[in-house]
Chain A
């Protein structure tokens, strides 16, 4: 009898593919945060009026706050359906390290939710009169910042999975943790709009991303074991 032990990368790719396929077959869940993002930014524009100087000033803040809120919407689903249908049990009982599966799930979540958000943010930037010079920095902050949202979000999504009313609880717990990303991202885009240097803020965002990428998968793995144990 020939036995075949899959390599870690095979497992990672298999879980990533699984989550991407499921995500793409569930289009409404994919589009809802995006629509929410559009609506929030549009409401700010409606409330503040069509004044270029005002909008230009608040543009980075509006886009980033809306992006944060939109990204919390999809967090709850990260482990929820897997818990309900018993897939999570099977993940925990796999002979492969749980952290590999967790990393694949976080990566899939980022690709499914943040990638469309980044594209939308660039268009919305134009709508709120974000200066041309700030568009590229906005893209950079989103590329560095949104993976942190998925990583840190995964820890809390794992901690609250299966709790009653976990959706609102998760939002309340997660938003304060997003503050460092918000501060440095908005500062980057603000400075870029004023023509100032932005490297310092970007380094900070990069450091936060490295820290989150190192610790969040470990914390998520432990949280899942605690929740199911």
Chain B
């Protein structure tokens, strides 16, 4: 029931039905895209005294509707139509009466509670068996659809040293990641190497006879979830 409170409150305020003594009015309210086309009655539960009349109106409705009884009483205005004329029923016996629109029964239902002349509520009807009581799903929608590793790997202590015909890059990784080392000269990548490493201190040696000169070295790492580390740089001069 809790889930219904929001839309119902809105509908009930909209209803603004005239409260002339002796009769009450229920209006058919078409569903909109915003409420997933849930057609409803303006009032889900109304209380009247025995001898009073309830009128169902369909003014302005553009969807096929009718009104019919469910349970122990009989009433039906007509086959479903677009905006049929109002239909009335006089309730003479205290009790609870369920009314529905036959083609929108899942959402378009309501109850008339008929009290006696003194206004004392009728004895509550016996509760329906468990197999007829709705058990509404009380769970909200999950708010996170993607729980994944969003922590960037960290590359630290990058030191590049010259070796024969190349360079040795030392670094430290915070987690298992794929490391890319680039040797750049005047902004152009001359040599590049990629490899997977576990967490901890590592070294990667790159050799190439044609690699003489001064380089800027960039080290970047990606973990398995695709998170990228910051770029860490150092310089080296290779003979």
Partners in one complex: no
Chain A residues with CB under 8 Å of chain B are none
